Amino acid sequence: MPPVTRGFVGRRKRDPRLPPGQYDVGDQWPVLTAEPAPNLDTARWTFRIDGLVDHSVEWNWDEIRALPRERWDGDIHCVTTWTKFGMTWDGIPLDALLEAAGPLPEARYVVAHSHTGYTTNLPLADITGGRAWLAFAAASAPERPAPLTREHGGPARLLVPHLYFWKSAKWVAGLRLLADDDPGFWERNGYHDRGDPWAEQRFQGD
Amino acid sequence: METTSRKTLRWQLATVLEVRDEAPKVRTFRLGLDGPATHLPGQYYVLRLTAEDGYTAQRSYSVASAPHGRPEIELTVERLDDGEVSEFLHDVVVPGDVLEVRGPVGGWFAWDGAGPALLVGGGSGQVPLAAMLRHARALGRPELVRMVLSVRTPRGLYYGDELRGPEVHPVFTKVAPEGSRRPAGRLRLDDVAPLVRGGETAFVCGSPAFADAAAALLTEAGLPPAAIRIEQFGPTGA
């Protein structure tokens, strides 16, 4: 256990939904990006899956909006220590998109890349099995989700809610399947390669 | 560029050497480290507090001081209402206390002093930019940086007289100093456009609303989006 800080008692009555080191941000939804938020025109927007797949697939906006969608209700966790409870999201399960491309047996990792050039790496196992979505809409409560704003990654971002939220790439443009892990933007700048909030995997070496 | 090494990511004990007021609700904490400060201006440290029952809270704070080779850093912290860590730092911490820190962390919003930089900060966004200005001056290359600071009133400028000088262009949004030629008001295109010369990297730091507006002005002034790096903090409605 770390040494006790003189005089620090912290918040009492901790919500069990909070992973260690996190706090409840309440109704707010902070915006944290490293680059200017782009204005993406859905008329030219695409999402592509390639790399170690049977065949690469690319969808345009109309094609992807025609696919069956799912709703996800739950909490999201940012490495900067805020947690937002009780969100509602609307998107397409990545399982369905990956199935269309046909991952090869040797594919074990993914690099998600954005229209801005942002990248983040994920184990393939973390975005399959009904735990990750390509999301178009969100709400701060169990209500009808609204289209994602530009600041929150609109028109589409990843939603990987069981990992810290930098893995849920905003303005996502595609997934590349790989045999080996290939650290992305923040991961090369010191952040963890997986980012499990319950294990406090914030930085490399955690 | 990889600037966060595994060595920097171990927790170390830091002794509070000095606590100083910068502005209303804004305080600087000078911390003694177990080795020389090696951060790049713009990087931050993570600070962790631990209660007797094992409960911990950690937050990240930008380093305000330049890398100077001495075993100490300065973190400047704004006291946020209901801020679990910032309230504790402001209300409880005194010189002699021991805090846990690790860092430096972050390699994107960091300036190594090699090329020209346009620094645009709002409110406590002054902190990492001050480290960059101090570094440029310490290198004897103040001409490498140009700095625009947006603060509500003259009291909102941190670090005494340090954020003054030919490199610094303060913009006051609520109350301008007496005799000021620029009336109080939000950052505008003509505040930043004359400082864009081409070839620089822009470092924008402030609230999300400020950062978004400042990035839009810089783009309008001709900077390519790829030359703009942003660090945002603080909550926003969504």
Closest chain B C-alpha to A67 CA, distance in angstroms: 27
pLDDT, residue B4, reads 58
What are the CB-based long-range contacts (under 8 Å, 24+) for B138-142?
A: B138/B66, B138/B68, B139/B113, B141/B113, B142/B166, B142/B167
Report the chain A residue with the minimal C-alpha distance to residue B88. Answer: A8
Task: Find the residue in A nearest to B52 (Cα).
Answer: A4
Q: Are B54 and B135 members of one domain?
A: no
Higher pLDDT, residue B150 or A191? B150
CATH assignment at residue B208:
3.40.50.80
pLDDT at B120: 98
Q: Which of B47, B77, B105 is the last residue of a domain?
A: B105
Per-residue pLDDT reduced to its tens digit, A151-171? 999 999 999 999 999 999 999
**CA distance to partner chain A, nearest, from residue B52 (Å):** 6
DSSP A145: P
> B169 and B141, same structural domain?
yes
Q: What pLDDT digit, counting tens, does each position of A19-59 carry?
A: 988 888 888 888 877 778 899 999 999 999 999 999 999 99
Range of the domain at B206: 117-237
Beta-carbon-side half-sphere exposure of residue B106 (alpha carbons within 13 Å): 24
Residue B1 placed within a domain = no
The answer to whether the Cβ–Cβ distance between B235 and A28 falls below 8 Å is yes
Residue B110 resides in a domain: no
* pLDDT at residue B105 tops 50: yes
B96–chain A nearest CA distance, Å: 11
Question: What are the helix (H) ranges across B109-196?
Answer: 126-138, 189-192
Is B112 within the bounds of a domain?
Answer: no
pLDDT at B3 over 60: no
Complex ipTM value: 0.83
User: Which of A142-146, B71-75, B187-191, B228-232 is the least confident region?
Assistant: A142-146
B159: its two tokens:
């670090």
Q: Do A4 and B50 touch (CB under 8 A)?
A: yes
pLDDT at residue B195 greater than cutoff 70? yes
Contact A32 B232 (CB under 8 A): yes
- Could you give the CA distance from residue A162 to residue A63 in angstroms, rounded to a whole number? 28
Cβ within 8 Å of residue A26, ≥6 positions away: none
| Euclidean distance between CA atoms A23 and B58, whole angstroms | 10
Q: Cβ neighbours of residue A93 under 8 Å, at least 6 residues apart?
A: A70, A130, A132, A133
Taken in order of first residue, the domains within chain A and their CATH numbers are 42-199 (3.90.420.10)
pTM as predicted: 0.83
Answer whether B148's CB lies under 8 Å from B120's CB.
Answer: yes
